[in-house]
A and B are shown apart, each in its own frame.
Chain A
Amino acid sequence: MRSLHAFAGGVHPLGNKNTDVLPSIHLHGFPEVELLMQQHIGPPCTCVVKPGDHVDVGTLVGRADKPMSVPVHSSISGTVKEIHYVVSANGTPVEAVRIESDFKHSINPFCRPPKVESFEDFVQMIRDSGLVGLGGAAFPTYIKVNPPKNKMPDTLIVNAAECEPYITADYRQICEHPDDIIDGILEVMKWLEIPKTIIGVEDNKPLVTRIFSHEIKKRVYKTGKHPDIEVKTLKTIYPQGAEKMLIYTLTGRKVPPGKLPIDVHTLVMNVSTLRFIGLYLKEGIPLTRKRMTLDGSALNTPGNFIVPIGARIEHIIEAAGGTREEPKKIIMGGAMMGVALDRIDHGIIKANNAILVFGSEETTLPPESPCIRCARCVNSCPMDLIPCGIDKATRLRDTEMLEKYHVMDCIECGCCTYACPSKRFLTQSIKNGKVMVRAERARIKKEQELLAASQQKGGSSPS
């Protein structure tokens, strides 16, 4: 569609959507789960169970008592065995609750469809459901649907781009539950009084466009009213599904660096997030299961699986059909932005949407060679940055130069590293550069504070 705005840059990795025709399979019978108390961006929640407690599916395990925090619920029925600290997949220590299954799968009797009568009810209901952004960022959804009063969104953007290679979980979600997704969209539109919704779908998924159009037509027959939902086809390019790129492509609005979509009066939600809202309003079971894609050459049977949150990756791989060769690399998330794991007993968290089990054919780590300034990283950067310059500045530990290159604006999409013919770890380098800049900013701030304090005292300047 030519009328859409195209962002500069982006890359075209092989789609590898090998699992898109395979219906999702429910996996049961996990012997235990490990629930992290922090599965979102924000402070961890407080553990409210103790070893020996019996929990059902949907029982509150972690209470959210701080702002930006989201509760965690048990995903299986069984007994709490242990509360301990584990190292999460991204390397930070997090409190975790280990629950041993009783294989009964009994659902907490207090789980019932919520009654929503006001906007406040709606926000509270979203928070109680434990919902976070399921696209991968794990931003607490209740914050998203409760914007400041002066910044009410006028457009809801539904992210169905799914631009990461391999992952088809959202695709299957759409194929299997389009009605729930539309329900979720209509609820959000109703309570936030958003007049317009745009669903963004990449043009390599024509079926999704048809499914949504059909579903919208069904609503028209049912209610006699055309919901203001529009399906727009996007060019297939990575990172089309990145929030800022998606907003720009669909509305022409640019989110300034360091700002949120709401600052340009846009609300972006993933299809799976919306589907959960639609489902939760009908069933009332909190977020305890997650649809994820398992793919990679080391697997016997790649596919989409619905697994309880907290299930250990080794158990999931086993339950999903096991491996046919020894895995060489296991990635939590997509091939472009996922985290390579050092061990396989991590429990999955809410925002995980894929586990990639790479065998020897996909696992390559070419050595770095010198930058030849070919500008492929510059041309591929959707944020219009100069990755090779940032890389150089990071290696020189030059924070001034890093600031000049706007290192903090990087969205870490990985396009530059993907495109680099010298196989340099640009994204990693940029991430390190961000750490340096943050440290430097903190140091300068502290220095200024000290200076201000000493001047206030009226004493002589510190030597």
Chain B
Amino acid sequence: MKLQVSHSPHVRDKATTASIMRDVIIALLPATFAGWYFFGIRAMIITFVSIAACVGFEYICRRVMKRNNTISDLSAVVTGLLLAMNLPVSIPLYMVIVGAAFAIVVVKQMFGGLGNNFVNPAIAARIFMVIAYPKAMTSWTIRTGSWLSLRSVAAVSSATPLTMIHTSEAPSMWDLFIGNKAGCIGEVCILALLIGALYLILRHVIRPWIPLAFIGTFFVLSFLFGHNNVFNFTGDLTTLTGWSDLFYESCYMICSGGLVLGAFFMATDYVTSPLTTKGKLLFGMGCGILTFLIRYYGNLAEGVSFSIILMNILTPHIDDWTMGKPFGEVKENVKA
């Protein structure tokens, strides 16, 4: 009789790395579909090119490094999907492939593959592309022609709401929420993103601490120190419109740009975010503060990716600072 000998426990939970990644993909799908709907077939092509490139580079890397094949853990698919969601629809396809190569080869595999990258590959690739192709990465377009038309998308170039919040062309709050605006493929439909985020939270894939701290901090800061902040507010608070005016700018800033996408899907990346609840709150608050500073006082229109990547780098230290005491440990027992 041949018996298997292994250390306890002898039963395991059903969740695997692949099942978690699958849940993340499912959660990203509503926003992806919304992006396809608003930007046309080219958005779909970019998504598939990005995913295919990421998976392809992952495969090649592992082959070259003579390591086991890790495509089946689906993490490369998530990276590809996230990268595509962070790109404007008019971007040339070769740039997508370069971005995917940077994400997978440089950021992920060169540091040891899944679990060892110190920054989020998709965000790092996006920042790399913003620096390498500033023009292509910041020209956002709105679909004007039919859904299937490849050319119409590049016709009208318009700024993302962030850069034109105080102009008369700014989209309405509802358009902003539903996604009828210029922007990156995956970031436009806030409603779809929130549906996906709810799925992740209900499936216990993520805990809501990072996004809550991130968005909450950003909201409070822009409410207190934004352009139309609470101190220079002149509206009439006895009417409903007055109240909605009070919160208008803060809410508008949250719904524009990649804040919701970043807070729920990129800042919560396991590998590059802290382990403890305390650490997660600290991480989210840091992201919120940095995003606020970059958006309001920096030259960049969008600060989400930079703030997340900076906090990614701080994650090991946050983990160190927030390591709790073991159960039952009292102060006297802790060795200095």
- Tell me if B7 counts as interface (CB < 8 A to partner A): yes
Indicate whether B276 reaches chain A with its CB closer than 8 angstroms. Answer: yes
Bound-state CA distance A427–B8 (Å) is 7
A254 at the interface (CB under 8 A from B): yes
Q: Does B17 contact A (CB under 8 A)?
A: yes
When the two chains form their complex, are residues B324 and A326 in contact, meaning their CB atoms are under 8 A apart? no
Give residues of chain B (1-60) contacting chain A, Cβ–Cβ below 8 Å.
1-13, 15-17, 19-20
A254 B11 Cβ-Cβ under 8 A? no
Q: How far is the CB of B275 from chain A (nearest CB, A)?
A: 5
For A366-394 the 0/1 string (1 means CB < 8 A from B) is: 10011111111010001111101100000
Binds B, one of A96-104, A175-183, A331-339, A452-460: A331-339
Q: Is the CB–CB distance between B13 and A327 below 8 Å?
A: no
Q: Is the interface of B mostly helix, strand, loop or mixed?
A: loop
Contact, CB under 8 Å: B11 / A372: no
- How far is it, in angstroms, between the C-alpha of A354 and the C-alpha of B106 when the chains are bound? 51
* Nearest-neighbor residue (CB-CB) of A8 within chain B: B327
Q: How far is the CB of B237 from chain A (nearest CB, A)?
A: 40
A329 within 8 A of B: yes
Please name all residues of chain A whose beta carbon is closer than 8 Å to the beta carbon of B226 when the two chains form the complex: none
A406/B8 in contact, CB under 8 A: no
Centre residue among A14, A328, A389, A406 by max chain B CB count within 10 A: A406
Q: Check B114–A328 contact: CB distance below 8 A.
A: no
Q: Which chain A positions have C-beta within 8 A of B10?
A: 329, 331, 335-336, 338, 340, 356, 358, 362
Of A47-55, A62-70, A417-425, the segment with at least 4 beta carbons within 8 Å of chain B is A417-425
- Is residue B73 within 8 Å, beta carbon to beta carbon, of the partner chain? yes
For residue B325, CB closer than 8 A to chain A, the reply is yes
Q: What's the nearest-Cβ distance from chain B to residue A341, in Å? A: 6
Cα distance A250–B330 in the bound complex, in angstroms: 20
- Given contacts A372-B271, A384-B326, A418-B12, whether A365 and B7 have CB atoms under 8 Å apart is no
Q: Which residues of chain A are within 8 angstroms of B323 by Cβ–Cβ distance?
A: 386, 404-405
User: Total contacts A to B, CB within 8 angstroms?
Assistant: 166
Asked whether A256 and B333 contact (CB < 8 A) given A244-B328, A375-B270, the answer is: yes
Contact B11 A422 (CB under 8 A): no
Which of A254, A404, A423 has a CB less than 8 Å from the CB of B328? A254
Pair A414/B275 contact, Cβ less than 8 Å: no
Name the CB-closest residue of A to B280: A375
Q: A369 with B7: in contact, given A255-B328, A378-B276 (CB under 8 Å)?
A: no
Least CB distance from B315 to A in Å reads 9
List CB contacts (< 8 Å) of B265-285 with chain A: 270-271, 273, 275-276
Task: Take A257-B328, A257-B333, A373-B271 as given contacts and tell me if A344 and B114 are in contact as well, using a CB distance cutoff of 8 Å.
Answer: no
Whether the pair A327, B1 counts as a contact (CB closer than 8 A) is yes
**Interfacial chain B residues near A343, Cβ < 8 Å:** 3
Q: Which residues A184-218 have CB closer than 8 A to chain B? A: none
A329 and B326: CB pair below 8 A?
no
The answer for the CA separation of A330 and B1 in the assembled complex, in Å, is 11
Question: Using a CB-CB cutoff of 8 Å, which residues 394-423 of chain A contact chain B?
Answer: 403-406, 409, 412, 414, 417-423
Residues 255-271 of chain A: 1 if any B CB is under 8 Å from the residue's CB, otherwise 0?
11111000000000000
B326, A406: Cβ atoms closer than 8 Å: yes
Q: Considering only CB atoms and an 8 Å cut-off, how many residues of chain B contact the other chain?
A: 42
* C-alpha spacing A14/B1, complex, angstroms: 28
Query: Chain A's nearest CB lies how many Å from the CB of B22?
Result: 11
Q: Is A144 an interface residue (CB 8 A)?
A: no
Determine if A114 is an interface residue (Cβ-Cβ < 8 Å). Answer: no
Inter-chain contacts of A259 with B (CB < 8 A): 328
Flag if B328 contacts A256 (CB, 8 Å). Answer: yes
CB distance from B69 to the nearest CB of A (A): 12
CB 8 Å contact bits of B166-208 with A (1 = contact, 0 = none): 0000000000000000000000000000000000000000000
Q: Which residues of A from 414 to 440 have beta carbons under 8 Å from B?
A: 414, 417-423, 425, 427-428, 431
* B4 proximity list for chain A (CB < 8 A): 328-329, 340, 363, 365
Taking a contact as CB atoms under 8 Å apart, the answer to whether A254 and B276 are in contact is no
B70 contacts which chain A residues (CB < 8 A)?
369
Report the Cα distance A337→B10, complex, angstroms.
8
A427 and B325 alpha carbons, distance in the complex (Å) = 19
Q: Which residues of B contact A427 (CB under 8 A)?
A: 7-9
Q: A370-B114, A372-B17, A372-B270 are known contacts. Are A326 and B1 too (CB-CB below 8 A)?
A: yes
Which residues of chain A are within 8 angstroms of B273 by Cβ–Cβ distance?
A: 373
Are B329 and A409 in contact, CB atoms less than 8 angstroms apart? yes
Contacts of A43 in B (CB 8 A): none
Pairs across A and B, CB under 8 Å, 29 listed: A13-B11, A244-B327, A248-B328, A257-B326, A329-B10, A335-B8, A335-B10, A338-B10, A340-B6, A340-B10, A341-B3, A342-B5, A366-B16, A369-B70, A369-B73, A370-B114, A370-B115, A372-B17, A373-B270, A375-B270, A409-B327, A417-B12, A418-B13, A419-B13, A421-B16, A422-B16, A422-B115, A427-B8, A428-B7
Contacts from B to A (Cβ < 8 Å): 1-13, 15-17, 19-20, 70, 73, 75, 112-116, 270-271, 273, 275-276, 319, 323-330, 333, 335
A binding-site residues for B, Cβ under 8 Å: 7-8, 11, 13-14, 165, 244, 248, 254-259, 326-331, 333, 335-344, 356, 358, 362-366, 369-376, 378, 382-386, 388-389, 403-406, 409, 412, 414, 417-423, 425, 427-428, 431
Sort A-B residue pairs by CB-CB distance and give the 10 closest, nearest first.
A414-B9, A370-B115, A428-B7, A254-B328, A409-B326, A336-B9, A421-B15, A374-B270, A383-B327, A375-B275
